[in-house]
Amino acid sequence: MAAVLHGDSPLLVLAGAGTGKTTVITYRIAHLLENGLAPDRFLAVTFTNKAAREMRERTAKLARLDPRSLDIGTFHGICGRLLRRYGTRVGLDRNFVIYDEDDQLSLIKRCCGDLNIDTQSFAPRALRHYIEQWKNEGLVPDEAQPSALDLVSEKAHRVYELYQKRCLESNAVDFGDMLLRTLTLVRTDEAVRMTLQSRWSHLLVDEYQDTNAVQYKLLRVLVTEQHSLTVVGDDDQSIYRWRGADIGNILRFERDFPGAVLIRLEQNYRSTQTILSAANAVIAHNAARKGKTLFTEGEAGLPLNLRLFQTEREEGDAIGDTIRAMIDEGGEAGDVAVLYRMNAQSRPIEDALRRRRIPHVIYGGVRFYDRKEVKDALAYIRLVVNPRSDVDFMRIVNVPPRGLGKTSIDRIEDVANEKTVSLLEAAGYAAMGSVKLTSKARKAVDDLLGMLTRTQGEALTEKPGRIVENILEDTGYLAMLRLEGTEESAQRLDNLSELVAAIDEFTETTEQGGGEATLATYLEEVALASDLDKLQDDDNHVALMTLHAAKGLEFPIVFLPGMEEGLFPHSRTLDDRAGLEEERRLCYVGITRAKHTLHMSAARVRNVFGEPRLSEVSRFVEEVPTELVSMANTSERAVAAFGMLSGRAPSKTNDDGYYRDAIPDDDFTAAPPKKAGPYTVKSSTRDSFAPGTKVRHNLFGDG
């Protein structure tokens, strides 16, 4: 209640897992509205479409307002809206398109060609990594500093500069640009900055621990001493360091915003006390935290179930058997989630579930919108909306095949470079005879331009779904797939039919909500979509996903397989204290997804790149107190394989080994590490290994 009723000074709500932070933030907004704040005077920001949708609907219901009147959205969604409105001030018009990863890589390859950078020596994905890193830090090309000792970063910096130029020429942004160009806009345009500062008097940010540098910088520009700022987050759930999230943002909040008040939410409404006690014990070994202890007034609950296996196949089969037995006794598959550290772990579990005819879905696999035929259709749509998008032109110029060879396309590119125009405009010159093309190639270009022109006219009157149907028919794309007559082509036809249905559904939903359904608004919806947004409470199948993907979700029954040193925590973090603490936070997230039943397991032998590798039980298992864990279902054979002892040695995390170098000086107090837990792994001797066995040493690596 204190967080809901708090006044206007900066507020940090440190909300532990399952403590009802969404309820707090929605009630706080409703309280502000009931006390006279106009709906257009606040901005609430979160990280997923699903979270934003839930927050908007719950707040509207509490405040008895139209959801459309509330400024609640994701960072990317809100920045996208600002760029649609003010983008001309940073070189974009309102019909800009959003490039995905494939589009980025395609453009990076073209930039490399123009800069004579060998993509065999400097992989486009590696160059993209540096560019994304600079954007996450809020650095435009002039501000980015390549390392003098890193040739890849030097090449990436050259590409970054040209890449940004080409994006503007194509009237396109990527995900990083949506934030970076908005930051540039509010920093450089005083009129826009003052307009936004005067528009929003109250700003509320959910999942603050996940903010990166560019998001933090954006907030610092928008928030002045006259603004009320509320942030809600959990430092113990900061797990996105690899994509730029900075835990320091939440740890130094009180220093960044003088006069800030800290309120802890520690009562959990999701899990049993046993599960919470295990999570508390594990996370207490981290130093980079403000410290809190989760509790519940609910039941103590069952012990955590720890099972050890000789192989990953045995582990997968046991998980399948447990779920099958639960379903046969009347349980629901939809109550179960299997959460793993790496996607590669899913295969033996998938196989086990499939053999037992257990319905399951892998989240984070190949998304519907990532399938080739769907991406081809979207490229046509984007080219209709934004004729300057060279990446989309290159994708569809000869799809389906229309007789345009490499020579013809190269000549069109040459004209585009000479005249500094888009590829589509250069194709127009080719159709008029300004470019030397064969008659067949010229007709193909003319037909393509004619189709795009007709479609742009249809877009003024026709429904989006009908427009896409016409594109697929007029281009011959559907005819191409029908002619193939294979099972794969039939699946692709089904996917395109599903795409049209999805567009029709979007149109109906948008228009019912009073919005405008156009090809452009649909493209933005797709670009910001996540397959996890589709996870519904009534989906009756086992959910398989990575621990990162599971954040924010909850399930009655959770399996955490692969609790092994080198896998979880990941081998690359074993000598990286900051990385190791992030792995521990990831474990904390996994444990706290479970409502009443948590299974953990480890395999003594796991195949890595086709080679068997011996493993030890994860230190995170060792950090759970003995009294919270049952090993009743683990065979003596598996215990012997791991060399488990009744006592145990100290935890692998030393009491005096914590890092503070990455954490700003502040007044937060880290909770002291707890005593080690129950499951010591006996040190391996030479007799423990057969010749040829792959082994991993925490210091010396693989051998």
- Report the CATH number that the domain containing residue 329 is assigned in CATH: 3.40.50.300
CB proximity list for 103: less than 8 A, separation 6 or greater: 172, 174, 391, 392
- Residue 154 belongs to domain with CATH number: 1.10.10.160
User: pLDDT band for position 77 (50/70/90)?
Assistant: very high
Residue 348 in any domain: the answer is: yes
Q: How far apart are CA 672 and CA 16, in angstroms?
A: 18
Mean pLDDT to the nearest integer, 190-214: 95
User: What pLDDT is attached to residue 702?
Assistant: 53
Residue 343 in any domain: the answer is: yes
Higher pLDDT, 405 or 567: 567
CB proximity list for 170: less than 8 A, separation 6 or greater: 97, 107, 386, 388, 389, 390, 391, 422
User: pLDDT band for position 530 (50/70/90)?
Assistant: low
User: What pLDDT is attached to residue 691?
Assistant: 47
The range of the structural domain enclosing residue 43 comes to 2-87+179-265
Mean pLDDT to the nearest integer, 443-468: 91
390, 167 Cβ separation under 8 angstroms: no
Q: How far apart are CA 262 and CA 254, in angstroms?
A: 8
Structure confidence by residue, pLDDT tens digits, 345-359: 888 898 899 889 999
Mean pLDDT to the nearest integer, 303-314: 93
Q: How far apart are CA 347 and CA 352, in angstroms?
A: 9
Residue 92 in any domain: the answer is: no
Task: Name residue 127's amino acid.
Answer: L
Q: How far apart are CA 213 and CA 113, in angstroms?
A: 31
Structural domains counted in the chain:
4
Structure confidence by residue, pLDDT tens digits, 209-241: 999 999 999 999 999 988 999 999 999 999 999
User: What pLDDT is attached to residue 660?
Assistant: 30
Query: 546 - beta bridge partners?
Result: 340
Structure confidence by residue, pLDDT tens digits, 317-352: 999 999 999 999 999 999 999 999 988 788 889 889
Question: Both 541 and 643 in a single domain?
Answer: yes
User: What pLDDT is attached to residue 657?
Assistant: 30
How many H helices and E strands in the chain?
Answer: 28, 18
Question: Both 487 and 548 in a single domain?
Answer: no
Question: Both 511 and 548 in a single domain?
Answer: no
pTM: 0.77
User: What pLDDT is attached to residue 533?
Assistant: 59
pLDDT surpassing 50 at residue 305: yes
Residue 284 in any domain: the answer is: yes
pLDDT surpassing 50 at residue 700: no
Q: What b/e string do you get for 503-539 counting C-beta neighbours within 10 Å, with b at 16 or more?
A: bbebbeebeeeeeebbbbbbbbbbbbebbbeebeeee
pLDDT surpassing 60 at residue 196: yes
Percentage with pLDDT > 70 across the chain: 88
Question: Both 210 and 335 in a single domain?
Answer: no
369, 378 Cβ separation under 8 angstroms: yes
Question: Both 412 and 324 in a single domain?
Answer: no
Question: Both 208 and 78 in a single domain?
Answer: yes
Among 211, 236, 265, the domain-final residue is 265
User: What pLDDT is attached to residue 48?
Assistant: 87
Higher pLDDT, 460 or 560: 560
- Residue 558: name the closest of 305, 315, 346 by CA: 305
Question: Both 577 and 643 in a single domain?
Answer: yes
pLDDT surpassing 80 at residue 426: yes
Question: Both 123 and 190 in a single domain?
Answer: no
Sign of the Cα pseudo-torsion (81, 84, 85, 90, in order): positive
User: What pLDDT is attached to residue 644?
Assistant: 56
Q: How far apart are CA 304 and CA 302, in angstroms?
A: 7
Question: Both 542 and 522 in a single domain?
Answer: no
DSSP letter, residue 703: -
Structure confidence by residue, pLDDT tens digits, 183-195: 999 999 999 999 9
Mean pLDDT to the nearest integer, 608-628: 86
Q: Is 466 helix (H, G, I), strand (E, B) or coil?
A: helix
Active site (catalytic) residues: 21-22, 206-207, 237, 593
- Residue 483 belongs to domain with CATH number: 1.10.486.10
User: What pLDDT is attached to residue 527?
Assistant: 82
Structure confidence by residue, pLDDT tens digits, 634-682: 777 777 777 753 333 333 333 333 233 333 333 333 333 333 344 444 3
Mean pLDDT to the nearest integer, 118-137: 91
Count of CB atoms within 10 A of residue 238's CB?
27
Query: Virtual CA dihedral for 66, 67, 70, 76, nearest 10 degrees?
Result: -160
Question: Both 582 and 682 in a single domain?
Answer: yes
Question: Both 375 and 239 in a single domain?
Answer: no
- The kind and range of the H/E element at 11 are strand 11-15
Among 118, 146, 170, the domain-final residue is 170
Which ranges in 96-174 belong to alpha helices (H)? 101-114, 124-136, 151-169
Question: Both 504 and 608 in a single domain?
Answer: no
Mean of the per-residue pLDDT values for the chain? 86
Among 147, 170, 193, the domain-final residue is 170
pLDDT surpassing 50 at residue 208: yes
Structure confidence by residue, pLDDT tens digits, 360-409: 988 875 567 778 898 999 999 999 999 999 999 999 998 998 888 888 89
